[in-house]
Structure 1
Amino acid sequence: MSVPLYQAKAEFFRVLGRPVRIRVRELLRDGPLPVRELSAATEGEPSALSQQLAVERRSGIVTSRRGGAVVYALAGGDVADLMRAARRVLAEMLAGRHESLDALREAAPAKVAAR
């Protein structure tokens, strides 16, 4: 029996949603990095980072290759596009909040003065 598409999408977004994984993808956006650089930039426990990278690798979000060190990269351009899209959506959401806050701040003195 196959998994409904909405459930597969939910699992995909669950994998994407962990903060350390998001940070790793942001770091990999500019190109492959060795695990030691990812570890230094995320300031977490190396074993925890390894577990997170393994989840991303099994999900097909990142790839790894071994040489002198293990180097990780985004699996494809679509992952980088998805991260850029998420950034744009978040920026729009936050901009709307700031506009609402500004409108509330501007309206507040008028209400106080009317009392």
Structure 2
Amino acid sequence: MNLEMQQFKAEFFKALAHPLRIRILELLAEGDKNVNEIQSLVGIEGSAVSQQLTVLRAKNIVTGTKDGNRVIYSLRDPMITELLSVARQIFNNHLVDTITMLDKFNDTDNVEKDKE
């Protein structure tokens, strides 16, 4: 069971490992959209968007529902929104750590200049 869970997680995160897929998920977190809407919001041609949506659908991360001749995409699990939020918080924490480290470096550099 543990190995199966680890494999699921690895495949899940592999499916998220593309900037355009992350952007699509962020847009779908705001509400359901069709390919044309996503395409206009990301500013990328439809074939690239469709290709990334295919990957996300294959991994059951998004679902597509037919609406006439369009397919409306949505997040399969609303927890994806929380996952993206946590990832943003982790990024911000790393950024704060980097800024703190740079501030300390600059303070040390300024002290050495004052000694000269």
Same fold (TM over 0.5): yes
Unaligned runs of 5+ in 2: none
Q: Superposition pairs for residues 1-115 of structure 1, below 5 Å?
A: 4-68=4-68, 69-115=70-116
The one-letter code of the counterpart of 1:97 is T
- Distance in 2, Cα, partners of 1:97 & 1:41: 31
Deviation of 1:4 after TM superposition, in Å, equals 4.5
Q: 1:76 is paired with a residue of what secondary structure?
A: coil
Partners of 2:11 and 2:77 in 1: how far apart? 19
What displacement does 1:42 show? 1.4
Aligned-pair CA distance for 1:37: 0.9
For these two proteins, the number of residue pairs brought into alignment is: 114
Q: What TM-score, normalized to structure 1?
A: 0.89
- TM-score normalised by structure 2 residue count: 0.88
- Aligned-pair identity in percent equals 35
TM-aligned CA deviation for residue 114 of structure 1: 2.1
- CA RMSD in angstroms comes to 1.7
Distance 2:99 2:61 in 1: 33
Matched residues in 1 for 2:30 and 2:45: separation?
A: 23
